[in-house]
Amino acid sequence: MGEGLIRIGCCGFRTSRESYYALLDAVEVQHTFYQPPLVPTLKRWRAEAPAGFEFTLKAWQLITHLSSSPTYRRVKRQLSEEKKGEAGAFRPTATVAGAWELTRECASALGARAVLFQCPASFRPTRENVANMRKFFRGAERGKLAFCWEPRGGWPCETVKGLCEELDLWHVVDPFAERTLTPGRCYFRLHGRRGWRYKYEDGELEELRSMLPERAVSYVFFNNVEMRDDAARFKEIVESES
């Protein structure tokens, strides 16, 4: 992946792709979480992006979220009752396995190097959930993909750290809310310190830079109302050092 490389962007384009490509060098694709686009569409995105631009993507929600999640309202393809019953929580089902295969095809089409597995707050650190995570991540064909895990269900630090080490995962956090337990593998998602309408100050962006390792690839994605401007300003801070 190279050394000293900080990939900076937004959670979603939130604008025309052409103007986004001119401003930033990475994006976290959201479409793949709700309803993965067709592979030819993603190949077109890859082809139109400049050389060196990087895509990461959120894994399809059928892997992580139960079908009772409100996010399923944005699933466009009709799911059978069987698929709904099998979806989510990394369970060892044909539906979860198929959702990973489709996510992996999307990653390949985009030339992505990292996939985000974002879990709902309802995914708690139960014995069953931990066992299903182990089965899923040990069995999922990943190639050279980095697997990035965002737990949000009150998981103890020692459990998260242990699973990240055991299953070769990056611990995904908002660094102003929680400290990553994989400091050499940083994947940050910034949601605003006091909510979505927050704009980061220059001093905070400089503090953010200090949280990142010096000789490792890092991902920093903004997800607040001023995401494009904040990401662009942070990119300037990083580039001013080189």
- The C-alpha torsion from 150 through 222 and 61 to 56, rounded to 10°, is -90
Which pLDDT score, from 0 to 100, does residue 1 have?
A: 37
Cβ within 8 Å of residue 167, ≥6 positions away: 133, 134, 137, 138, 147
Between 5-14, 69-78, 124-133, the lowest mean confidence (pLDDT) is in 69-78
Which pLDDT score, from 0 to 100, does residue 215 have?
A: 87
* CB 188, CB 221: distance < 8 Å: yes
**Per CATH, which fold does 6-240 belong to?**
TIM Barrel (3.20.20)
Largest CA distance in the chain: 54
Q: What is the CA radius of gyration of the chain?
A: 17
Q: How confident is the model at residue 238 (pLDDT cuts 50, 70, 90)?
A: very high
Task: Taking residues 42-66, report their average pLDDT.
Answer: 97
- pLDDT tens digits, residue range 20-45? 999 999 999 999 999 999 999 999 99
